[in-house]
Structure 1
């Protein structure tokens, strides 16, 4: 059910991008109880002039390795689950592909279950 959009600057290797996708998916399984095979992840790469961010907002020192992760998901997670997900995602991304935790920006977009159709013109969760 989560739809993940990952944005980063262009130029990273295929392995680097795969590690980001895999780490986010693993964090969702571990922290959000996302079922196996519920994997919908889009990667958007941007040229430098298309990727604008503040390098010090909230006193967090970001670099050009910043990865912005936006996840549309059901509005069923507790604050504790969300905090655990943020921590676990940063840990996994730090381990592979080696991102600094300061360069992991995550935003959740929560929606009601009836707002999803996974195909066949059916709202499977309604």
Structure 2
């Protein structure tokens, strides 16, 4: 169960947020995540609450107001090969949606299955 957190600067319209979230979900599904496994949230912050360097470490050009931080919290165990394939797919989808991949940062966070309680406090994978 991936939990996706999208952090952007205010203001972003629904179409902007949906285009990014839809691309992330499609790339996750292509990597083997079930289609119905969609848990996403958006943090839309003011300039003073979302600060980032325009070029660190190797951005082609500079990050702008449409910079997107995508955090993917998912279960541990996926290989670097799977992550690279997901990133390549995601960047293609974002570009097709009119988003600049150079304005995107992705952070994978991993946890073990016993740390997920999907409903009612039940640990179904222990």
Q: TM-score range by the shorter chain?
A: over 0.9
Structure 2 gaps of 5+ residues are: none
Aligned positions of 1:17-96 closer than 5 A: 17-31=17-31, 33-60=32-59, 61-96=62-97
State the 1:107 CA deviation. Answer: 0.3
Partners of 2:100 and 2:38 in 1: how far apart? 24
Provide runs of 4+ in structure 1 moved above 4 Å.
none
TM-score (norm 2): 0.94
Q: How many residues align?
A: 124
Q: Which residue of 2 is the match for residue 5 of structure 1? A: 5
CA-to-aligned-CA distance 1:8-55 (integer Å, 9 cap, x gap): 011121111111111100010112x00011000001101111110011
Aligned to 1:116: 116
Q: CA RMSD in A?
A: 1.0
The residue matched to 1:37 in structure 2 has which SS? coil
Q: How far apart, in 2, do the equivalents of 1:4 and 1:38 lie?
A: 11
- TM-score normalised by L of structure 1: 0.94
What is the match of residue 100 of structure 1? 100
Q: CA deviation at 1:59?
A: 2.4
